[in-house]
Amino acid sequence: MGPLLRTVELFYDVLSPYSWLGFEVLCRYQNIWNINLQLRPSLIGGIMKDSGNKPPGLLPRKGQYMANDIKLLRHHFQIPIQFPKDFFSVIIEKGSLSAMRFLTAVSLEHPEMLEKASRELWMRVWSRVKFSSEIPIQYHAAAEKAGMSAEQAQGLLEKISTPKVKNQLKETTEAACRYGAFGLPITVAHVDGQTHMIFGSDRMELLAFLLGKLKIQH
């Protein structure tokens, strides 16, 4: 009998660059750490409002730190992440409601494609493509690049405004809030009957410790 498979949930939003970093680390290590990784598309705007938090971009010192931090993390994690030139318009003004509804629809209809579809949207927001959350063709193209057919992509676009998808995104976001989220990403590890909520992408060493994959030398 092999080692016990632990469940780890990742709550994320594609507007969050640190969510992308945490996502890639967990995707890389899920087999090494023997975890059941569950991806949870969530709405960062709803979590910010519920917790009373503010985006880093609205606080100049945080925003400057974040811009410098991302440059370093790009090289450290080998992820092609960079600040959007139209940062305020894309990240602050337009938000991610339609994008996260789209990924919620993917999770409901084609869960096996959620990892690739999520990565494609991060690439569009934080890397190679000028992104607009108002243009459905962005999601259609992302879905096809993730490996879906044109028919599957169109079907997802038709579902993003349905009550089922809206309610699922709302429920997932509320679940993140119940775990104590005040931003994203949060990683929730279920280990030995206990639940641990970890905020951010720079706490993966702590997650490895909780999973028994890292021994601290004293």
Q: Which residue among 16, 42, 98, 107 is the active-site one?
A: 16
56: Cβ–Cβ under 8 A, 6 or more apart, which residues?
Answer: 62, 63, 65, 66
Phi, psi of 2 (to 5 degrees): -80, 175
Residue 16 is a catalytic residue? yes
* Residue 80 confidence class, pLDDT cut points 50, 70, 90: very high
Higher pLDDT, 88 or 79: 79
Question: Domains in the chain and their CATH numbers?
Answer: 6-211 (3.40.30.10)
pLDDT at 216: 63
Higher pLDDT, 84 or 121: 121
**Tokens standing for residue 106:** 């993917």
Interval 127-177: pLDDT, tens: 865 555 555 778 888 899 999 999 999 999 999 999 999 999 999 999 999
Residue 1 has pLDDT above 50, yes or no: no
* Residue 90 confidence class, pLDDT cut points 50, 70, 90: low
The string of DSSP codes covering 137-181 is HHHHHHHHHTT--HHHHHHHHHHTTSHHHHHHHHHHHHHHHHHT-
Residue 2 has pLDDT above 90, yes or no: no
Residue 4 region, left (φ>0) first, then alpha (ψ -120 to 50), else beta? beta
H-only helix segments in 30-113 = 44-51, 60-77, 87, 97-109
If DSSP codes are grouped into helix, strand and coil, which group holds residue 185?
A: coil
If DSSP codes are grouped into helix, strand and coil, which group holds residue 94?
A: helix
Residue 32 has pLDDT above 70, yes or no: yes
Interval 47-67: pLDDT, tens: 999 999 988 777 889 888 988
| Residue 120, H or E segment | helix 114-126
